[in-house]
Amino acid sequence: MPAGAEEATAREQWARCGLLFSPLEAAGDDATAVYWVEVRLQGSRWGALTEAERRVTAALAGRVSAHIADATLLEPEVTPTVVSTWHMHRKTDWGPGWWRSRAAQLWVQVGAADVHRRVRLDGPGTREEALAALQRGPDVGGVHFDENLHDVRPGIASAHAVRPQDPAPWQTRALGLPGMAVGAVAMLFGWMLAGLGLGWQMALAPLLVVGAWWVGPWLADRERHSGVVVWLCGLAVVGGTGLCGFMIRVVSAALGGVDVRAVVVMLCGLPVLRGCLYALRQSWFSRNAATVLSLAVLPLAWVLPWMGRLVQGIYLTVCLGIPLSAVNVDALWTYLAGVKPTALCIAALLCGLAALGWCRHFYWITGSRTYYLAVFGTFTVVMMVVAVLVGLSSATNGADRTVAQAVAGQDPSPFFGISARRVCVRPLDAANTAVQPGPLPTGYPVVAFDVTGDETWLWDYRRATASADLAKGALRVRTDQVVTQPAARGARTCPPL
């Protein structure tokens, strides 16, 4: 940049934006000033260089005629301090024999013989260093180290955790995207395995053993732990996620059908969760999470019953033409009816937040933040509206199911506390019976809902199926002018008067 007044302006602007800078005296001349500016980012390395350049120039706000001559990604100059954990345990001897000695060794390595005392050493550490630390250290909590009775074992840690490499290998990031991908594959494998016969299950199950042997070193170092412990660590990851997929399919089949949507929702939830963490990292929300979450839960007490009444109203009033006030519904069913649309609405909100988080992680949100927040806000609102419509579709599905069951001669299934039954109606005085709209069907069963007050609401499936509007089948009659009798299952006609 030009030396002089613009240089002072640049320093002021960078300091205001929190950027670290220092002059490079040897690189400039009397008319030109050269500065080293450091930008610290928390997102991905992909696109970080472009984002750093943008922030440097954006901080100047067009007040300085400067340009970037060179840019590069910086690596941490100081290697992070590595601490290894060593657990104190009782010496275990289960007698002679190869199997006994191996079983005793495994018993020790899984921590079953620990005496609940441990030391931490700088760096990877060795067994001799851990023993020396225990011998010269005080007896913490009265746990005395006796070299004749006690020994030490290394804690579970990957090779990268105890011996950092530069750069870190991707397979050591077990909680990152590779770990999520392996968990997703294992869950799908378990879901597929549950649908096969016993012979195929026994033939394909060993694939999890192979996968556990490959994933184990992500969590445990082969040089510090035996092969069995490394394999058990991998099996905890691969076998646990595979068992989740297996049980999802088993439970779905027991409940009446295999639904792959549950597995898809769980798999989609992994990147959504990660994106939400990216969106809220180092933000106002992360600094006030406890307060915000507490306040966010309070509206559910009003949202759930409102959504529930909306679902029940669409089912009964919009689809069948019967007022919701005509039936008595327990408050618990109203809350349960609102769970699905509310949950879908919250899921849509989290998806929009996750999309913002992934864009923030890869620096796709550049320039005007207001513009991008408006775009993502609109996108999130549209998704929430679609989610509410999908949640309310259960009401129309319930109405269609009621029609199908009535036509088939069956009593309709309850819908979130709204129960109905097929009845035969008998007027006490056929000449003076008020029916809106008439006439009153007496030759075949109709659907009657709970009687409340002075009026009984009936639903004539024959009149409804003859019209494109299901609400055409609604009938209203005074309760004291008719007598209802439950219709036999599968009966198409009522006995004569």
CA distances (Å), origin 146, targets 97, 104, 139, 362: 26, 19, 11, 54
Residue 197: Cβ-neighbour burial (10 angstroms; 0-12, 13-18, 19+): exposed
SS3 call for 229: helix
pLDDT tens-digit readout, 10-62: 888 888 888 888 888 766 677 888 899 999 888 888 888 888 888 898 888 88
Find the range with the poorest average confidence among 75-79, 111-115, 361-365, 461-465.
75-79
Q: Which residues on adjacent β-strands are paired with residue 447?
A: 422, 459
pTM passes above 0.85: no
Segment holding 248, helix H or strand E = helix 227-254
d(CA 457, CA 231): 66
Is 420:398 a contact under the CB 8 Å cutoff? Answer: no
Q: Which residues contact 95 (CB under 8 A, 6 or more apart)?
A: none
d(CA 8, CA 74): 26
Is 278:360 a contact under the CB 8 Å cutoff? Answer: yes
Find the range with the poorest average confidence among 100-104, 141-145, 159-163.
159-163
d(CA 93, CA 349): 58
DSSP string, 359-394: HHHTT---S-HHHHHHHHHHHHHHHHHHHHHHHHHH
Mean pLDDT, range 88-100, rounded to an integer: 83
Q: What is the pLDDT of residue 328?
A: 79
**415 φ, ψ to 5°?**
-125, 95
pLDDT tens-digit readout, 271-298: 888 888 888 887 777 777 677 777 778 8
378-409 in b/e form (b: 16+ CB < 10 A) is eebeebbeebbeebbebbeebbeebbebbeee
Per-residue pLDDT band at 174 (split at 50, 70, 90): very low
Length of the chain, in residues? 497
